[in-house]
Amino acid sequence: MKKIHYMFLIAILSVASVKQAASQSACCTKSVTSDFAMLGKDEAFNASHPAPLPFHFIPAAGKMITLKSADGKDVYGFEIKAASPTKNYLFVFQEFWGLNDYIKQEAENLSEELKDVNVIALDLYDGKVATTPEEAGKTMQATKEERIRAIISAFIKYAGPDARIQTIGWCFGGGWSLQASMMAGNNAKGCVMYYGMPEKDPAKIKTINFPVLGIFGSRDGHINPEIVGQFEKDMKANGKTITVKSYDADHAFANPSNPKFDKEATADAHGLAVKFLREHLK
C-alpha cells in the first residue's frame, strides 16, 4: 500500500513539474507582438501615451510606396531614396500610433543626416493611424505577428540580396526594430531600439549577429530597468555587442507629440543613434 501511495505521489509531482516547465517555457518565448498585445490591454500603458499633439507634415523628399508581400497582400512604406544609388538601407519602425506624420518627418530627418542611405518607414498597421490611446491600444492588440513579419520580409526582399540593413524604432516599433534586424540575417548591420520590448528567448539571442543600441527611460514602468537589465545581461553572456543608454525619463520620452517629451534627453539620444548608424554603415 505504501508503495502505491509513493508511486502516486511521484506521478503527481511529475505532472506538476511538466506543467511548471510548460508555463516557464511559454513565459520565456512570448513574441514581441504578444507582449505588446498584452500591454495594449493595460490601461496604465495606454495612459502613458497621451494623444499626439496635432501635426501635419508635408514631405520634401519622401513618398509612399506599395509592394506585394508573400501572402499576396499590399504592404506600404514611406521611402526617401538616397541622392546616389546605394545598398545602404535604414528601416524605420513606428510607435504604437502607426505610420503617422511624426514618423514620416523623423524618417526624412534621418535621411538628411545620414546621406548615403535609403530610408524606409514601414507601415505595420496596413494604413491604420490611431489618434487616441484607446484606438492605438486596440489596433496594436489586433495586429498579427505573421502579418508584420510578412510586411518586413517584403521590404527585406525589396532592398535586395546585397543590401546593408539597419533598423530604428520606438515603443512598439522598438521591439520590431530588433526583430527586423534578426530577420535580415547577414544583411543586418545594426539596430537602434528606443524603449522597445527586448528579445527574451536565449536561443534567439544567440542568433543576433549585429550591434544593438538600446535607449530606455529609467522611469518606464513597462519596459522597465529589470527587463532591460536582463536583456543586456543575456546579450553579453552570449558575446553579443550591445550598448544601453538609460535616461531619467518616462516611456516615449523622445516623442515630440507626447506631453512628457524630454527635449534634452531626446537630443542626446538622437545624437547617439545617428553616430551609431553612421559608424555601422561604413
The string of pLDDT tens digits covering residues 125-141 is 999 999 998 999 899 98
Q: Quick one: pLDDT band at residue 282, thresholds 50, 70, 90?
A: confident
Predicted confidence (pLDDT) per residue in 81-92, tens digit: 999 999 999 999
pLDDT: which is higher, 258 or 25 = 258
Q: What is the pLDDT of residues 198-226, one digit of tens each?
A: 999 999 999 999 999 999 999 999 999 99
Q: Grid coordinates 524618417 are at which residue?
A: 107
Q: How confident is the model over 138-170, as pLDDT tens digits? A: 999 899 999 999 999 999 999 999 999 999 999
Which three-class secondary structure state does DSSP give residue 163?
coil
H or E element that contains 244 = strand 242-247
- What is the model's pLDDT at position 48? 62
Neighbours of 109 (CB within 10 A): 14
Query: How much is the average pLDDT of 68-80?
Result: 96
3-class SS of residue 232: helix
Record the pTM: 0.86
Distance CA 83, CA 78 (A): 16
The whole-angstrom separation of Cα 187 and Cα 185 is: 5
Give the E-state strand segments of 47-170 in sequence order: 63-68, 74-80, 88-93, 118-122, 164-170
For residue 55, what pLDDT band results from cuts at 50, 70 and 90?
A: confident
Give yes or no for a contact between 220 and 250, defined as CB atoms under 8 angstroms apart: yes
Q: 16 pLDDT exceeds 90?
A: no
Q: Look at residue 11 and tell me whether its pLDDT is greater than 70.
A: no
The amino acid sitting at 201 is D
Give the three-state DSSP class for 242. Answer: strand
Provide the CA 252 distance to its chain's centre, in angstroms: 13
